[in-house]
Structure 1
């Protein structure tokens, strides 16, 4: 289980860092259903995602940061669910992004649960 959680943590960290870079190079207008997000919040999400990506991988280098994994993964799951809610509220008929965000939210929630209850880092 520990190996699976580490693999998921690294994949989630890479995914989140790439998402932050994408947000940096694109505006919130790039995804029509997310156009309701104010630009300042969009920019704050970039920093939030980089911090979450770091929180997922830092324990590999220093166990002192182990608690950050649960917080980072839970934060990513919450962000993805927020995107889902905004997408549903926008009325956009395209369900592709919704499914994508839900899958990422489930993976992030599994990592958070796994590191909290199944295989905590010590």
Structure 2
């Protein structure tokens, strides 16, 4: 189980880090029209939070200090993905492929948070 969690943590850290880099280069509307209501300042703040979460998914476990940060980072990503789903539904331009993607990422991060909390 520990190996599976580590593999998922590294993959989600890479995913989240790349997502943060994407947010620095694209606006919310360019990324997904249903996210157009997110102001640019908040979009950049989300990118910074994602970078911190990517670090928080891997570094605390590697250093064996503050391992609870892994669960916290994963739960922040879950919240962000669910927020994107909610914004997509209420925007009027529902993109089911994006919602499915965000829900899968949220489920994986939820599994990481649950697994690390109970480990």
Deviation of 1:60 after TM superposition, in Å, equals: 3.9
Superposed counterparts of 1:26-105, under 5 Å:
26-30=26-30, 31-105=32-106
- Residues of 1 paired with 2:38 and 2:53: CA distance? 20
- TM-score (norm. length: structure 2): 0.96
Residue 4, structure 1, aligned to residue 8, structure 2: no
- Structure 1 residue runs of 4 or more that deviate by more than 3 Å after TM superposition: none
Deviation of 1:92 after TM superposition, in Å, equals: 1.2
Report the count of equivalent residues. Answer: 118
User: Which sections of structure 1, spanning at least 5 residues, go unmatched?
Assistant: none
- TM-score (norm. length: structure 1): 0.93
- Residues of 2 paired with 1:109 and 1:94: CA distance? 22
Contact 2:61 2:70 in 1 (8 A): no
What is the root-mean-square deviation in Å for CA atoms of aligned residues? 0.9
Deviation of 1:94 after TM superposition, in Å, equals: 2.5
